[in-house]
Chain A
Amino acid sequence: MALTEFSPPGNLDDFSAEQRAAWNRFIGGAFDDRMTDVDGGKREQFFNPIGVELDADAAEKDVTWSAFPKQIALRFPAGPARWRAADRSRDVQDEYCEWSVERDARGVVKRVTFTCEGPEYWGFLANTSPDVALALYRQHVSPTVTNSDLFGPGGRYIERNRWNNSTTTGAMHLIQPNNTLLAEIELAAAATVVRERDGQVITTEQELITCSGFGEPSRHSDPHIGGEVNALARAKADVTLQDPVGLYLDALSTAGWETPDGADPHDFWRVTRGAEGTTVRAVYEVTGHDYAVGDITILGQPIRFGGQIAEHITMRLTGLAHHIGRSTATPRPCPADRGGAPGPMDVAQILTAPPAGRR
C-alpha cells in the first residue's frame, strides 16, 4: 500500500491532527525541494514516497554508524582526553547524536541522556504547542524548566535554551548545526545521483562526498550514509527514506561493561522517546540498585564521561529502494558548484505556511 502521510520521527504522539498534517507537508515539501540537483539536473533516482505504490522488489536498507564524533576520535587517543573532549560541547557531537551528563554532589555520573531528535521537529512543536513542549521538557529534562527558559521575546522558541545548550544541563533535541533532519534528507537525495570522474563511476565514500558535496566529509555519518545510498543508486534502484523519516539510536553494546553487583549493564539503557527500532531518546541510568552509572566500568574504567557510553552506541537511518535494476539514469560528472545542503531554514515559518506554498 502506498504511503499516505509522513509520520513524525519515532512515531511520536506529541502532535495534534493539524500538526501531523503540517509535519507531513513539511517533510513532503523537503522531499520535493530536493528532486533537483545542485547542477540543475533532476535527481531521477530519488522519490517522494507519498502515493507511490512500491514494487514487489522494495527493500529496506539500514545504514548504521558510530555515535561518537569521528573528529574527536581522530584527534585524541583512546581514554580520558578523548572522552573529555567529546563531553566538552554539544557542538562537537556531530554524528546526529548529542548527550548531556548529570552528576551527583560527589561528581559521580548519575544519568546520561542521549537524543537524536531533529531541531526542525522541536522548532515546530514548541512554536505551535508551547505548552506541550514545556511539559516534555519538564518530563524529560527537569521539572524546574519554566516557560521563560524556553521562549524568548514574542514567544519564539529558543533552540539553544539553558536546558538544551550544553552537555551538563540537559539535552532535549539536536542543536549541533549539522545535525538536522533536512541535512539527512538532502544527503539521501543528493547521494542518489551516480557520479563519474574521468569516465569512471565513483564508488568510494570519500570520493563521492567530495564530488557531490552532500554532507560533511569529516563525519562517520555523512560519507557512509551517502555511500550506502549511492550503492543502491548504482544498483539502478529508485531510492527514498523509510517512514518515519528520522535519525535513530540503533543499539548500545555493553560488552566489556561490569556492574558492581553483576547485573546486566544493558538493563540500564532505557528508551524514553520513540520505541525499539525508532528510538529518538534514551537514558542510561541505574535504577533499583544502590550504585550509580559512575560505579559501572567499561574495560575496567569507571564511567566518568558521557562519551564513554557514546563510543558504544550506533546510530541508524533506513533507506528504501525499489525498481532495482531498472533505473535509466546515467552517471553525471561532479558539479562545479557543489552547493551542499540548503542553509538554515526558519522551520516554524515554513511549517505554518499554507500548503500551497510548499508543494
Chain B
Amino acid sequence: MADPAFPTRQYPYRAPDPTAGPDPAAAVALTPGTVHRFVLGVDPVPRPLTADELDALNDPVATALLRRGVFPQTARELLAALDALGAQGLPVQESYVVGDGGQIPWTPETAGVARQLRVVVSRRATLGAQPDLLMSTSTALDAPTAFLQVLGWDAAAGVFRYYERRDGTWIVAGTSWDALREPSRGRGPFDSHVNGALVMKELKLPWSHWHSQSASITPAVLAPDDPIRTEPIWTERTGAENFEVAVAQPGVFRWTRSRFDQVIGADGTVTALPELLRQVLTTTTVNLVSSVAESTTVARLDRLELPMTFFLDVDAFAGPLGMTPPAAPTVAGPAYDAARTQLELHLDDGAGFRRPGETFFAFLVPERALEDQMVLDELITREVLSVRLATCLLLVDLANPVWSDRRAALLAHVPATVAAGNDGAALDELLGTAIEAAATTPDGPEAEFVQWWTGSEEPGFALRVQARLTEFLDAWQRRLDGPDGAVDLLRLAQGRRRRFRDSQLAEFALTVPRSPVDDAARALRVGPDASVS
C-alpha cells in the first residue's frame, strides 16, 4: 500500500482513475525473501526473478544485499545492513533533506500541512568516488510501508537499476534503458526518472525546497515530538549544493556517457538517434529554477534578477554552442509584487492549507533539464552533432526554451542512424538536407531553420547569432519595463507551471504556486519580439 503521507510516491502501478481497473501489483502475492521484477508496461504482474537473472544484477543493491538474502524492510534496516558490510557497504554516507513545504514552520495551526519532507541518502565507496547507491524515503525511518526506493549503479551493465521495497520484499522496477523505450517509458519510476538518470528537479542555486546553504530546513518545521529530530540523517544533513555537484551532476553524466558508449558502434554508427535528438528538440523533462530572492523581500527590491533560462536556453547557447551570455532580464520588485497580487498567486497543499504568495524563493519556473543539456554536450563531444547544426536547431523558436512545438516538429526529420565523426558532418548533411527539403511553408519551423542554416558557414554567423540573442533579451527587458511587463511575465510563468503540473514529475501540491489564470495561461507562448500571447 502507498505511504499515506506520500500518495504519489509509490510507483503508480494503478492509475488514479478508479475505473482503470485493479492494481496489477496487488493481483499477485509477493513472496517474502524473493526478488521480483515488475517493469511497468512490460510485465503484466510482478514475477520472481530467476536465479540467473538475479546473478546478472551487479549493482550494490543486488550484490551487497539481495543476492546475499538480505531484505531490509525499512530505511533504518537498509542503512544498517549496508553499515554491517564495512567497506563493501559503501561506507561514505551523506544525507539530504527536501520538502516542498520545508520553509513552513510547524505550529498547531500548520501541523497538518503536507510538507512532503523526504530524505535522500547517498552511499559511496570512498571520498573520491561517485555514489553507487541512492535511497529515497520519507522521514518515517522505521515504517515498513513508507515509500522506500533505491537505485544502484551497475558498472558492468552501465545503467542505474531501480528498486522498491514493496509488500515485504523487493521489486526490480527497471533500468535506465527501460526509461527510454516503450512500453515502459514514462511508467513506474520513469515517470520522474524520465531519461533513466538521477533526478534533482531543483538542481541549481538556490535549490528551492532543499535544505541548502541558501535556505536551511530547520527543526522549526518539525512537530515537537517528531522523532526525526535526533536521527543522524537529519542532524547531519548536507546541503543541496553538495548534492548538485557530488550526486546529481555526476550521476546524470555517468548514465549519459554510458548510454553514448552503448549506442555508438565501433564503426562510429550511432543508433537510436531520434532518442538522442529528442532531448535536444523537445522538452522530455524539466528542472525548476528560481531567482535567489526570498519571496518576502521582493517588494522591497529595486530590481528582481530573474533566471536567464526562463527566457533563453542560455545553458546551451553559452555552453557548448559557445556564445557569450547576455545579461539576464530584471523586473522592478514593486511591479513584480503587484503582479503576483493581481494574479492571486498562492500556495495550496490540497489538504486545506492555502497561503497567498509564492514559494520561498521568488519566481520558481521550469527550465530545460540538465539531462537534456548533457545529451547535447555529448552529441557535440562525440561529433554526432556539429555546433553549427545544433545552433541552427535551437535558434528555431528560441523565444520558447521549453515546450516548443515548433522545435519538436523538426524531430520528424531526424534519421534513425548516422555516422559520428568529422565534426558531425554526416548529420549536417542528412538532417540539414531533410529539413531544407521540408521547408515548404514560409512560416514553418523548417523555414525558420533554413533561414539560419543558409549562411551558417560564413564567418559572421556567430556574430549574427549573438546579435539575435542580445536583441531578443533587450526586447524582453523593454517589455518588463513596460506597463504590463510584470503581469505578462507572471502569466507566462503560470502557464509553464501549469504545464509542469501536468507532468508526472509534479508530485506535490506545494511545488509551484497556483493562480486562477493557470489554465488560460497554459497555451501562452513568447513571440520573436518577446510578446506574450
Chain A residue with Cβ nearest B122? A255
- Chain B residues, Cβ within 8 Å of A64: 213, 239
Given A266-B127, A267-B128, A300-B381, answer yes or no on A81-B325 (Cβ-Cβ < 8 Å): yes
Q: Which of A70, A207, A231, A255 contacts B294 (CB 8 A)?
A: A207
Residue A9, interface by CB 8 Å: no
Chain A residue with Cβ nearest B294? A206
Residue A76, interface by CB 8 Å: yes
Q: Are B213 and A204 in contact (CB under 8 A)?
A: no
**Interface stretch of the complex, out of B21-29, B240-248, B460-468, B477-485:** B240-248
Given A220-B213, A255-B124, A299-B250, answer yes or no on A204-B242 (Cβ-Cβ < 8 Å): no
Q: Are B205 and A74 in contact (CB under 8 A)?
A: yes
Interface residues of B in 320-376 (CB under 8 A from A): 320, 324-325, 327-328, 360, 374
Given A210-B297, A299-B253, answer yes or no on A312-B205 (Cβ-Cβ < 8 Å): no
Chain A residue with Cβ nearest B293? A206
Residue B518, interface by CB 8 Å: no
Residue A265, interface by CB 8 Å: yes
Residue B215, interface by CB 8 Å: yes
Interface residues of B in 198-245 (CB under 8 A from A): 205, 213-216, 218, 220, 239, 241-242, 245
Q: Binary interface profile of B, 252-265, with partner A (CB < 8 Å = 1, else 0)?
A: 01100100000000
- Chain A residues, Cβ within 8 Å of B216: 205, 224, 227-228, 231
Q: Are A76 and B242 in contact (CB under 8 A)?
A: no
- Chain A residues, Cβ within 8 Å of B294: 204-207
Q: How far is the CB of A63 from chain B (nearest CB, A)?
A: 9
Q: Are A264 and B126 in contact (CB under 8 A)?
A: yes
- Chain B residues, Cβ within 8 Å of A210: 297, 300
Residue A343, interface by CB 8 Å: no
- Chain A residues, Cβ within 8 Å of B360: 204
Q: Are B324 and A81 in contact (CB under 8 A)?
A: yes
- Chain A residues, Cβ within 8 Å of B215: 204-205
- Chain B residues, Cβ within 8 Å of A114: none
Residue A77, interface by CB 8 Å: yes
Q: Are A256 and B130 in contact (CB under 8 A)?
A: yes
Interface residues of B in 290-328 (CB under 8 A from A): 292-294, 296-297, 300, 305, 308-309, 314-315, 318-320, 324-325, 327-328
Residue A257, interface by CB 8 Å: yes
The count of chain B contact residues (Cβ–Cβ below 8 Å) is: 50
- Chain A residues, Cβ within 8 Å of B315: 77-79
How far does the alpha carbon of A121 sit from the alpha carbon of B103 in the complex, in Å?
39
Q: Binary interface profile of B, 4-21, with partner A (CB < 8 Å = 1, else 0)?
A: 000000000000000000
Residue A169, interface by CB 8 Å: no
Q: Which of A74, A204, A311 contacts B305 (CB 8 A)?
A: A74
Given A77-B318, A81-B325, answer yes or no on A231-B245 (Cβ-Cβ < 8 Å): no
- Chain A residues, Cβ within 8 Å of B220: 203
- Chain A residues, Cβ within 8 Å of B309: 77
Residue A127, interface by CB 8 Å: no
Give the residue among B129, B241, B315, B324 with the most A Cβ atoms within 10 A: B241
Chain B residue with Cβ nearest A79? B319
Q: Are B318 and A311 in contact (CB under 8 A)?
A: no
Q: Are B131 and A255 in contact (CB under 8 A)?
A: yes
- Chain B residues, Cβ within 8 Å of A266: 126-128
Q: Which of B214, B253, B314 contacts A300 (CB 8 A)?
A: B253
Given A77-B315, A204-B215, answer yes or no on A312-B245 (Cβ-Cβ < 8 Å): yes
- Chain B residues, Cβ within 8 Å of A267: 128
How far does the alpha carbon of A70 sit from the alpha carbon of B377 in the complex, in Å?
24
How far does the alpha carbon of A207 sit from the alpha carbon of B213 in the complex, in Å?
15
Q: How far is the CB of A55 from chain B (nearest CB, A)?
A: 20
Chain A residue with Cβ nearest B241? A66
Residue B144, interface by CB 8 Å: no
Q: Are B242 and A74 in contact (CB under 8 A)?
A: no
- Chain B residues, Cβ within 8 Å of A205: 214-216, 294
Chain A residue with Cβ nearest B257? A300
- Chain B residues, Cβ within 8 Å of A81: 318, 324-325
Chain B residue with Cβ nearest A197? B296
Interface residues of A in 73-107 (CB under 8 A from B): 73-79, 81
Q: Are A253 and B246 in contact (CB under 8 A)?
A: yes
Residue A128, interface by CB 8 Å: no
- Chain B residues, Cβ within 8 Å of A223: 214
Q: Are B297 and A257 in contact (CB under 8 A)?
A: no
- Chain B residues, Cβ within 8 Å of A164: none
- Chain B residues, Cβ within 8 Å of A314: 241-242
How far does the alpha carbon of A298 sit from the alpha carbon of B109 in the complex, in Å?
47
Give the residue among A75, A76, A206, A257 with the most B Cβ atoms within 10 A: A206
Q: Are B205 and A264 in contact (CB under 8 A)?
A: no
Residue A65, interface by CB 8 Å: yes
Q: Are A77 and B308 in contact (CB under 8 A)?
A: yes
- Chain B residues, Cβ within 8 Å of A11: none
- Chain A residues, Cβ within 8 Å of B378: 300
Residue B249, interface by CB 8 Å: yes
Residue B105, interface by CB 8 Å: yes
Chain A residue with Cβ nearest B374? A299
How far does the alpha carbon of A64 sit from the alpha carbon of B212 in the complex, in Å?
10
Q: Are B319 and A78 in contact (CB under 8 A)?
A: yes
Q: Binary interface profile of B, 76-104, with partner A (CB < 8 Å = 1, else 0)?
A: 00000000000000000000000000010
Given A299-B253, A314-B242, answer yes or no on A206-B297 (Cβ-Cβ < 8 Å): yes
Residue A254, interface by CB 8 Å: yes
Q: Which of A66, A77, A251, A265 contacts B213 (CB 8 A)?
A: A66
Interface residues of A in 215-239 (CB under 8 A from B): 220, 223-224, 227-228, 231
- Chain B residues, Cβ within 8 Å of A256: 130, 245-246, 249-250, 253-254
Q: Are A311 and B128 in contact (CB under 8 A)?
A: no
How far does the alpha carbon of A205 sit from the alpha carbon of B211 in the complex, in Å?
13
Give the residue among B103, B246, B360 with the most A Cβ atoms within 10 A: B246
Q: How far is the CB of B126 from chain A (nearest CB, A)?
A: 7
Chain B residue with Cβ nearest A223? B214
Chain B residue with Cβ nearest A224? B213
Q: How far is the CB of A177 from chain B (nearest CB, A)?
A: 22
Given A264-B128, A266-B128, answer yes or no on A77-B314 (Cβ-Cβ < 8 Å): yes
Q: How far is the CB of B479 from chain A (nearest CB, A)?
A: 21
How far does the alpha carbon of A73 sit from the alpha carbon of B203 in the complex, in Å?
13
Q: Are A73 and B318 in contact (CB under 8 A)?
A: no
Interface residues of A in 16-35 (CB under 8 A from B): none
Q: Are B218 and A253 in contact (CB under 8 A)?
A: no
- Chain B residues, Cβ within 8 Å of A75: 325, 327-328
Interface residues of B in 443-495 (CB under 8 A from A): none
Q: Are A79 and B214 in contact (CB under 8 A)?
A: no
How far does the alpha carbon of A206 sit from the alpha carbon of B475 in the complex, in Å?
31
Chain B residue with Cβ nearest A76? B325
Q: How far is the CB of A216 from chain B (nearest CB, A)?
A: 13
For this complex, 30 residue pairs linking A to B, each with C-beta atoms less than 8 Å apart, are A64-B239, A66-B213, A70-B292, A74-B205, A74-B305, A76-B325, A77-B308, A77-B309, A79-B318, A203-B105, A210-B300, A220-B214, A231-B216, A231-B218, A253-B245, A255-B129, A255-B130, A255-B247, A256-B253, A257-B128, A264-B126, A265-B128, A266-B126, A266-B128, A299-B253, A300-B253, A300-B257, A300-B378, A300-B381, A312-B246
Closest 6 CB pairs of A and B: A256-B250, A266-B128, A253-B246, A264-B128, A255-B250, A79-B319
- Other contacts beyond A203-B218, A311-B245: 15, CB < 8 A: A78-B315, A81-B325, A204-B103, A205-B215, A207-B294, A207-B296, A220-B241, A224-B216, A231-B216, A256-B254, A266-B127, A299-B253, A299-B374, A300-B377, A312-B246
